[in-house]
Structure 1
Amino acid sequence: MTGLVLALTGAGLIFAVLAWVPKAGAVLEIVLSGLMLACLVGAGMVLLYGDGVVGWDERWWNVLLLLAGGLAVTGGGPLTTSVLALADRGNTRAQSTQKAGEVLRGGALIGSLERGAIFAALVAGWPEGLAIVLAIKGLARYPELRSPDQPASVTPQAVAERFIIGTFTSVLWSVTCAAFLLSH
């Protein structure tokens, strides 16, 4: 079972890296994100069916830790932009959360740091770290969310929607990757 879990997690990480290649919101990115998610679900099911990581040799547990951490950080970006693209279907350009990304610059880097910090805090057994990360992000983004100087090409609601959807997707992904790892 160890090999299958590691293989599925590794495959998920490969799909996550490949999902960064297509344009944000492209069908290929959505498909690759879905495959990445399916790999994590499959590995999680194998862990739930078995005994989790209890009894694993420490070296294999460390490999899983690195793979799951990489998947948490890398996979959340394409997954988040895929969810935002799906949320945008039928919206006008001014309501587009993709267009709102121009207001909330640096989202990919901030999201990666956020996912890494959340994953590390949860794996280290410090769930309070999640609240601290979210508080810092919310306080740092507050001026951009409330700024009256936003471009006319995007609505304030689209900016707030992008922040909320992006944050929830990103956080849920990193929490899922950490929970998968801690399934013992």
Structure 2
Amino acid sequence: MTVAVLVLLALTAGGGLALMVLDERLRPAWAALTLVVPLGIAAVLAWAAGPVSGGWLQAVLLLAVAAAVSAGGPVATAVLRSADPTSASVAGGPSDPEVLRGGAWIGVLERVAIAGTLLAGWPEGLAVVLAVKGLGRFAELRAPAAAERFILGTLASALWAVGCVGVVVLLRR
């Protein structure tokens, strides 16, 4: 079962990379399901498999972090698009370069930091990461559209990273 978990995490990470290459305006929101479903199946299999250690656990750990980083952006984008399907064509949406610039790179770093703190056994680090992100964006969050995008994107991104790390936690027990 551990091999199946590895394959599913690799598919999730690879699918995330493939979707990252596409312009987000061309990426259908339903494409995120191609990432969520294999991660969910991997979690169920990890729960059923029981504890693993050594090289298997290290491989799962690396693929889980890769899935968190690569697939989190497309998942967060799908959540944002689902919340406001017109956002791609109106001011304040992703096409407006002045609203939350650098969000994709900040999201990548956020997911790396979240995965790292949780895998290191320091869940309090989650609060630190999210607080730093909020403080860094504080001035930009006065605009209602920016605040909404910030909250939705951050929660989707963080929950995705936590879900990916959860597969590792299920195999560590």
Q: TM-score, normalised by structure 1?
A: 0.85
Superimposed CA distance per residue, residues 118-152 of structure 1 (whole angstroms, 9 cap, x where no aligned partner):
10000110001000001101111001113xxxxxx
Q: Distance in 2 between matches of 1:48 and 1:57?
A: 14
Q: Which amino acid aligns with 1:7?
A: V
1:139 paired to 2:126: no
1:100, CA displacement in angstroms? Answer: 5.4
Asked if the contact 2:19/2:27 (under 8 Å) is kept, the reply is: no
1:108, CA displacement in angstroms? Answer: 0.6
**What percentage of residue pairs aligned between the two structures are identical?**
41
1:35 paired to 2:34: yes
Aligned length: 170
1:97, CA displacement in angstroms? Answer: 3.5
Q: Partner of 2:127: helix, strand, or coil?
A: helix
Asked if the contact 1:24/1:81 (under 8 Å) is kept, the reply is: yes
The correspondence of residues 35-74 of structure 1 with structure 2, limited to 5 A, is 35-51=34-50, 54=51, 56-74=52-70
Residue 166 of structure 1 corresponds to 153
Q: TM-score, normalised by structure 2?
A: 0.90
Moved more, 78-87 or 65-74: 78-87
Q: Distance in 1 between matches of 2:140 and 2:35?
A: 32
Residue 129 of structure 1 corresponds to 125
- CA distance 1:25–1:104, change in 2 (3 Å): same
Residue 7 of structure 2 corresponds to 7
- CA distance 1:46–1:101, change in 2 (3 Å): farther
Q: Distance in 2 between matches of 1:68 and 1:50?
A: 16
